Amino acid sequence: MSFRRVFTFCFVLTGFTNLSAAPANLVWIIADDMSPDIAVYGTVGVRTPHLDQMAQDGRRYTRAYATAPVCSSSRSALILGTYQITTGLHAHDVENPQPLAAPYRPLPHLLREAGWFVTNAPAPGSERSGKTVKKAKTHYNFAHDAATMYDGDDWQKRAPGQRFFAQFQITEPHRPFPIPEMVDEDLEKALVLPSNYPEHPLVRRDWYAYLRSVEVVDQRVGAILDQLREAGVLDDTLVIFSADHGRPMPWGKQWLGVEGLQVPLIVRGPGIVPGSVESGLVSLIDLAPSALMQAAAEIPSWMEGQPIFGQGFPERDRIFAARDRCGDAADRIRAVIGRDSLMVENFFPDVPRWNWSGYKEASYPGLPLLRSLHETGQLSESIDNWLQGERSPLEYYDLRTDPLSIKDLSSEAQVQTALAAERYLLDAWIASTGDTGVLPDPPTEPTFEEIRKDKRSHYQRTWQKRLGKDEPSDAERVTWWEAAYGLNHGPKKTPKAADPKSKSE
């Protein structure tokens, strides 16, 4: 039996043994760009009472991961229950999305055919840059028509007694973070930065702003739960909260490591034991087959995820993830995540870790800061090593001693046996999925070179507006960010998503 057939057999069997006799309604709440930075996960300096309560009322998953560290690739896999490298949806934010090839069909279509009322809406009260968000995010890498995928944006318009599947999209904490008008200095000082981030006022203020945006996520979740409670359906609804991938920080979004992949996952509702914690490995592609199982609907054989609710939580030692072209940043990276380890294969090791991206260079203050500190010798050895040019073709991390996957052990003699075993499993996964990332990207209009040129022009226009220079130095950009965050009195202009092309990143 093949590697892929073994996985398929396991999750279909699990699905049949855990079908709910009386399926609950389903609600998915998806935040943009968020790691498990919630108080109930142990984060210091953030106030998240609604998510904390949701965890107390339900189950918290401590080892949940996206299949890609970027929005559209991850969301395409999420809605199909299938790895993006299997379906050819691996490149982020494709310029000419095509219809899905047979036999793949998105979860909303399958649930509508099963008689469910299916909606997609912004979270109640959603605002972005001071404007009401009226359209819910999908951001899939395949062409789709919302009118045929969904029954609308209001689950309360269903027929009497009809089960519903409602998605709520939360735009936070996607950058740009709102600039705090008032800073609680005691709260800012209390923040515990990850050990791989340098202690610097700009880093601390950026994290402060990020966590304030996480608190907005919590408020949105509270509003959704209130809506369900007031309608009298909360106790008959399985509510799932997650993010599409990790936080938008250096080491996070667009990087295939723990920070880019690990997400919060909290579930409450019928059949979920209050206050329970699950430490087994979960992939976001597990949510689609889990929803179908809960709906007592057939799970297609092409789905690669496994149901995670009920008594038959899948016992597995590995899950997988991939990163390919992100806008103007071409790359191909694959990862196998184990219980205690992470192995990464860089197919283009000559591409540096800070692979130039117009989106990140315009919106991540940590990137120019890290390079500036590197140039002046102010970084610790571990961070400094991360900024070096070429990557190792294979990287190996011991997550027991290095939970943030910072210290690459691939050259150490004591890990060679484990490294070879993980590479064998990764190669088997690549073969079983028919990894489409090995192929050149389909021809795009505009071409990739035109995309890179356009992204560079956008980056230059952004900094021309901010500093009057289209190619400012790292030090100049750091000074601007410090002023934007109120840390100095230099040239200041509040950072904004400058145009629709950058918002989708």
Question: Is 325 inside a domain boundary?
Answer: no
Whether 182 and 226 map to the same domain: the answer is yes
Please give the pLDDT value at position 382.
80
Q: State the Cα–Cα distance between residues 45 and 208, nearest whole angstrom.
A: 8
Please give the pLDDT value at position 9.
34
pTM of the model: 0.93
3-class DSSP assignment, residue 37: coil
pLDDT averages per 10-residue partition of the chain, 505 residues: 40 36 83 98 97 98 98 98 97 90 97 97 90 92 91 96 97 94 93 94 97 98 98 97 98 96 97 95 98 94 94 89 96 97 96 92 96 92 80 96 94 97 97 91 79 95 97 97 89 49 53
Asked which of 269, 290, 317 is the last residue of a domain, the reply is 317
Please give the pLDDT value at position 7.
41
Cis peptide before 173 (omega within 30 of 0): yes
Residue with tokens 């609950």: 24
Pair of tokens at residue 134? 């009226």
CATH number, position 50: 3.40.720.10
Whether 306 and 239 map to the same domain: the answer is yes
Whether 305 and 341 map to the same domain: the answer is no
Residues 6+ apart with CB under 8 A from 166: 25, 26, 27, 28, 118, 119, 120, 121, 155
Question: Is 42 inside a domain boundary?
Answer: yes
Please give the pLDDT value at position 247.
98
Number of domains observed in the structure of the chain = 2
Whether 48 and 87 map to the same domain: the answer is yes
Type and span of the H or E element at 343: strand 341-346
Whether 261 and 369 map to the same domain: the answer is no
Please give the pLDDT value at position 504.
54
Whether 189 and 281 map to the same domain: the answer is yes
Question: Is 322 inside a domain boundary?
Answer: no
Of 258, 335, 312, the residue nearest 83 (C-alpha): 335
Domain carrying residue 343 = 333-503
